[in-house]
Amino acid sequence: MERKIRVLVAKPGLDGHDRGAKVIARAFRDAGMEVIYTGLHQTPEMIVEAALQEDVDVIGLSLLSGAHMTLFPRVLELLKQNDAEDILVIGGGIIPEEDEKKLKAMGIAALYGPGAPTLEIVEQVTELVAKRHGDE
Amino acid sequence: MLAQRILSGDKRAAARLMTMVESGVEDATKELAELHVHTGNAHIIGITGPPGTGKSTMVDKLALDYRKKGRTVGIIAVDPSSPFTGGAFLGDRIRMLEASKDPEVFIRSMGSRNKLGGLARGTNDFIRILDAMGKDVILVETVGAGQSEVDIVKTAQTTIIVEIPGLGDDIQAVKAGILEIGDIFVVNKADRDGVERTVRELQAMLEMNPDKSGWQPPIFETIARDSKGIEDVTEGAMEHMEFLKKSGKFAKNLRMRTKAEFLEIIREELGEYIIEKKGKEEISGIIDRIAGRKLDPYTAADELLKELEN
């Protein structure tokens, strides 16, 4: 029996637009993944705690509010503190190119703008997880 | 070893082992074996009922109430997996915001399909892990549509059935035939029209039901969203556990569950052993012959067994 890919989809902070998050969550599910959807108003602490309990392979953060330079790094930091840097972090939302570069340098595995094709995201995530497990 | 870490309360180790169990990793059983002697302490409570009755919210509030009483809590939230893709949208955590903020509450979401040996088997192992981790109460929330309720009886000591008012003329629980398995009945969303009627109908059904040997299932009205009536439910659950222990049903129930699980494990291992011994290709050939009506499954199984016996 193969291991299913588990993805946590969360919306940190005050951002209230969750349609994108739900669309990608469904795409992941349709691709055979188990999606733990935690919804709105999550703090980085809640997100990481959930990620650990659910033993996810990927954390997907959906952010349209502009707080990405605070929230993403905080999640990465908490993962490090919990010795959980093997969990991939990806993000979706409105992120300027310069910030994108900074975030990727920090360790965010992939970032997607609004309207990014879900199939592509699903494929890339599958690849990233396979690579991660291949390195274990 | 994961088992040692789990016994000292390590959440990550517990989560890791759960994943290994779900993926059928062989080493998982070694770890589970080590945990077994340390289990048997938790109160295992199943929460089931038709979809849309507020089970997840109820689980959240129950967890909080248990926390107020100083108990630690484990939650297993089961949602349906797609029969086609195998994927699942596990969204119960959304309703468990408060409980998920408490470090003494461990919440794990589980897809209902593709579990080795069925839902009960997978849930049993998760329960084992949470129990060994030291959780006093383990709440298992299931999908509530058909087979899973029956599965829950196999795993829980106390089963709570959650209904809501006004689901039509007949109570859904009766339709699904799950009335017998409830130890506690809850009519949630009790601020809606039709509460009294639903309660009366439940009472009438319960009176017609076979004797539960001394336990009269209580019916509680709750508004889980506002935390109303929740204390009654937790008290009811604790009373039920006391009843189980005093009446000797606890030991009986434990033996029944142990037997069911053990037999299932043997069946599965034997099945795997037979397939391995005979070889996948050979088995596949037999299946083709059965499908082609050259052989029937019963004779095929008999012959296979005789062959392996020699």
Mark whether B131 and B100 lie in a shared domain.
yes
Shortest distance between the Cα of B90 and any Cα of chain A, in A, equals 5
Q: Is A52 within 8 Å of B85 when comparing Cβ atoms?
A: no
Q: Please check whether residue A1 lies inside any domain of the structure.
A: no
Q: Indicate the residue of A1, A35, A53 with minimum beta-carbon distance to B88.
A: A35
Q: Is A34 within 8 Å of B18 when comparing Cβ atoms?
A: no
Q: Please check whether residue B254 lies inside any domain of the structure.
A: no
Burial pattern B39-67, b for ≥16 Cβ within 10 A else e, equals: eeebbbbbbbbbeebbbbbbbbbbbbbbb
pLDDT computed for residue B211 by the predictor? 63
Say how far apart CA B107 and CA B96 lie, in whole Å.
9
Give chain B's mean pLDDT.
Answer: 88
Mean pLDDT of A43-56: 96
Q: Is A4 within 8 Å of B12 when comparing Cβ atoms?
A: no
User: Is the predicted pLDDT of residue A109 greater than 90, yes or no?
Assistant: yes
Beta bridge partners of A8: A36, A59
Q: Please check whether residue A16 lies inside any domain of the structure.
A: yes
Chain B residue numbers with beta carbons less than 8 Å from the beta carbon of A1 are: 23-24, 114, 116
Percent of chain A exceeding pLDDT 70 equals 97
Q: What does the H/E/C string look like for chain A?
A: CCCCCEEEEEEECCCCCCHHHHHHHHHHHHCCCEEEEEEEEECHHHHHHHHHHCCCCEEEEEECCCCHHHHHHHHHHHHHHCCCCCCEEEEEECCCHHHHHHHHHHCCCEEECCCCCHHHHHHHHHHHHHHHHHCC
Mark whether B163 and B239 lie in a shared domain.
yes
Q: Please check whether residue B61 lies inside any domain of the structure.
A: yes
Instruction: Check residue B308 and report its DSSP letter.
Output: H
Mark whether B287 and B199 lie in a shared domain.
no
Give per-residue pLDDT as tens, A39-49: 888 899 999 99
Number of domains in chain A: 1
Q: Please check whether residue B136 lies inside any domain of the structure.
A: yes
Chain A residue numbers with beta carbons less than 8 Å from the beta carbon of B24 are: 1
pLDDT computed for residue A72 by the predictor? 94
Which parts of chain B register pLDDT below 50? 117
Segments forming the whole domain that contains residue A20: 6-134
Number of domains in chain B: 3
Give per-residue pLDDT as tens, A23-33: 999 999 999 99
Mark whether B104 and B208 lie in a shared domain.
yes
Mark whether B271 and B153 lie in a shared domain.
no
Say how far apart CA B205 and CA B197 lie, in whole Å.
12
Shortest distance between the Cα of B39 and any Cα of chain A, in A, equals 20
Q: Please check whether residue B257 lies inside any domain of the structure.
A: no
Q: Please check whether residue B288 lies inside any domain of the structure.
A: yes
Q: Is B107 within 8 Å of A31 when comparing Cβ atoms?
A: no
Mean pLDDT of A48-61: 96
| Of the residues B199, B223, B247, the one at which a domain ends | B247
Mark whether B25 and B155 lie in a shared domain.
no
Say how far apart CA B286 and CA B144 lie, in whole Å.
38
Query: Cβ of B301 under 8 Å from any chain A Cβ?
Result: no
Q: Is A29 within 8 Å of B101 when comparing Cβ atoms?
A: no
Mean pLDDT of A127-135: 86
Shortest distance between the Cα of A29 and any Cα of chain B, in A, equals 5
pLDDT computed for residue B205 by the predictor? 81
Segments forming the whole domain that contains residue B276: 262-309
Q: Are B192 and B165 in contact (CB under 8 A)?
A: yes
Mark whether B50 and B26 lie in a shared domain.
no
Check which CATH number belongs to the domain holding A69 and give it: 3.40.50.280
DSSP letters spanning B88-103: EEE-GGGGGHHHHT-T
pLDDT computed for residue B115 by the predictor? 55
Mark whether B26 and B85 lie in a shared domain.
no
Mark whether B88 and B204 lie in a shared domain.
yes
> How many other C-beta atoms can be found within 10 angstroms of the C-beta atom of residue A134?
7
Phi first, then psi: what are they for B223, rounded to 5°? -125, 90
Does ipTM exceed 0.85?
Answer: yes
Mark whether B47 and B177 lie in a shared domain.
yes
Q: Please check whether residue A80 lies inside any domain of the structure.
A: yes
pLDDT computed for residue B83 by the predictor? 81
Q: Please check whether residue B252 lies inside any domain of the structure.
A: no
* Nearest-5° Cα angle at B168, B164 to B174: 70
Query: Cβ of B272 under 8 Å from any chain A Cβ?
Result: no
